[in-house]
Amino acid sequence: MDGENKASLEAAIADLKHAQRVLVITGAGISADSGLPTYRGVGGLYDRDLTEEGFPIEECLSGGMFRQRPDITWKYLYQLESTARGAGHNAGHKALADMEKHFEHFTILTQNVDGFHRDAGSTDVIEIHGNIHTLYCTACGAEEWVADFSHLQEIPPKCEACKAIVRPRVTLFDEWLPEDAVARLEHTMAQGPDFVMSIGTTAGFPYIAAPMIHAATSGIPTLEINPSETEVSAFAKHPIRQRGIEVLPKLQRALQ
């Protein structure tokens, strides 16, 4: 860790030791250290303009496409899940889980659908885009948790009870965010976090950037851990240009 990053880490630790209500925002970057590719960018899973079908990946993974061509949407849902198959949480996820006991409230708002935060032991997790391991029937609502999609006999899969199409409980493009997750985020913000950190996310969605922006403009300490500049870098009191797996264990040890 270079001098500038080290100074930011030490200053962040000093602020964090005075906090009681912490909000952590995570994106694809924290799971990339588990071997998962990021979504976009160099080396990302979808770094080309169009898919084989001639559509942007966002259109293939949209609610509209699912209604019209569920086979296309499921093709890429299966591809996304297969990249995570056999992977698990890493030292960054575990460090966040271990931090919980030091605070009155410690909430993780994640865009990731891999479930790694819960697997690592975090208990207050808002999965704003859902969890790919929960499948449900679009007709009768029958639901099941699956470890992965390797057991699926056909794509798209059908409900055993009513034969309608099954899908993961994730938020596709052009769909509303889950009401319960939004309500929990609103409740967390209403309680007033006194420290906000952003890890491994470009913060391109307004509801992901908003907590950092609100905290910074309200004089609440903010920390960003990301190798690259992002939409919220200007609002980070403590910017650290490294990966979560490199920084979070150090942060956790400092709190003990």
Catalytic annotation, residues = 129
DSSP code, position 157: -
- Which residues 6+ apart lie within 8 Å of 70 measured at CB? 156, 165, 167
CA–CA separation, 57 vs 53, rounded Å? 9
CA–CA separation, 247 vs 20, rounded Å? 20
CA–CA separation, 157 vs 154, rounded Å? 5
CB-CB neighbours of 67 under 10 Å = 12
CA–CA separation, 133 vs 115, rounded Å? 8
Segments in 100-161 forming alpha helices (H): 116-120
